[in-house]
Amino acid sequence: MIPGPPAASVPPPWTDLDSASARPLHPAARDALLLAHEHGYADPRRLHHAGRRARQLLDNAREVVAGCLGARTDEITFTGSGTEAVHRGLLGLVRGRRRAGGVVAHTAVEHSAVLHAADFSAAEHGTSTRVVDVDPRGRVDLDALAAALDPRDVALLAVQSANHEVGTRQPLADVARLAAAYGDVPLLVDACASVGWEPLPSPWAVAAASAHKWGGPPGVGVLAVRKGARWRDPSPADDRGDRRALGFEDVPGAFAAAAALQAVLGEAEEAGRRVAALVDRLRAEVPRLVPDVDVVGDPVERLPHLLTFSCLYVEGEALVTALDRAGFGIGSGSACTASTHEPSHVLAAMGALTHGNVRLSLHPGTSADDVDRFLGVLPGVVARLRAEVGL
């Protein structure tokens, strides 16, 4: 017998303020997942009626996601995660641009998926890495970017659509103009943090997204490769239809991810305005209520749902534990490597305080009451933790 879920370890009510790591499954995804598991279980490459039905669901999912991202249907591939999409996107551009240059350039605040793929490429393919500085708000320094591109030896440039920890949007139109001016360098855009909240900016050669961040099922990513991009499959050949996919696609997962994305984008404008107002309140109230707090990221050019601040004299892990006991789920440390207890490379690159780091990520269902309760609890929690270390 498969055991049921463990008993709750925190007293109700419990409020999830860590939705950037994973949102609850959207109702549209839940309905689509049940339908697709019943009718889309078969191999979509088979010619019998069950295979054709699965193929129809997969094609429909690809068409919907393409429309949501402003891409062609044949530019969309479903992967096992956003991380896999980033890895395959980057390594495919390295292979396709082998003659153009041997440098992988990326900003200092990219997700660890980009950093690890660049390290792997250096170890396995002999490329080198060039890191581009950002300003104190986390935005790429365009002068530093021009200097990085000037030698015209860059195979690809990775710049996220918006930062996954502090929410700062990157000026992708300006980045794309520079990339075009210095050797027509292809742009890899990690859009995992932004897809589901706002449209994908158009200047990209390869883009990556992750379904669980918009309310789709976990285990589904999206790799988008522009028609004509110099991308070559970095994996062994597969005789299935989509040369960018690795084996049997998760048809029900892809179908549910597409349904969720279509639904959340239809709600995004209203939800974004409401959630951004709640984050604005948090940005103003947290430093007013709690002394020695550093709120980071651009206050205006940002994703609507993210807020990061650092509390001096307090360990981030202690804050996570204490707030969890008080009924709030939050993030801390580097959003992509919190399990290692390493300081955030994003905050370090911005020159921000990395100690006592807290990341809040609101979902569309977050209420003003949730924010009021959090603001009512936070000052006491921080004061108690500081008192425990003699402050």
Token pair in block for residue 82? 């956003």
Is position 336 annotated as part of the catalytic site?
yes
Cα 91 vs. chain centroid, distance in angstroms? 18
3-state SS, the chain, equals: CCCCCCCCCCCCCCEECECCCCCCCCHHHHHHHHHHHHHCCCCCCCCCHHHHHHHHHHHHHHHHHHHHHCCCHHHEEEECCHHHHHHHHHHHHHHHCCCCCCEEEEECCCCHHHHHHHHHHHHHHCCEEEEECECCCCCECHHHHHHHHCCCCEEEEECCCECCCCCEECCHHHHHHHHHHCCCCCEEEECCCCCCCCCCCCCCCEEEEEHHHCCCCCCCEEEEECCCCCCCCCCCCCCCCCCCCCCCCCHHHHHHHHHHHHHHHHHHHHHHHHHHHHHHHHHHHHHHHCCCEEEECCCCCECCCEEEEEECCCCHHHHHHHHHHCCEECECCCCCCHHHCCCCHHHHHHCCCCCCEEEEECCCCCCHHHHHHHHHHHHHHHHHHHHHCCC
Q: Please list, residue by residue across 224-234, b when 16 or more beta carbons sit within 10 angstroms of its beta carbon and e when fewer do.
A: bbbeebbbebb
Annotated catalytic residue within 68, 192, 311, 336: 336
Residues in the chain: 391
With 0-12 / 13-18 / 19 or more C-beta atoms within 10 angstroms meaning exposed / middle / buried, residue 6 is: exposed
Name the nearest CA neighbour of 219 among 253, 256, 258.
Answer: 253
Q: Is 247 left (phi over 0), alpha (psi -120 to 50) or beta?
A: left
Phi then psi for residue 337, to 5 deg, are -135, 30
Known catalytic residues are 336
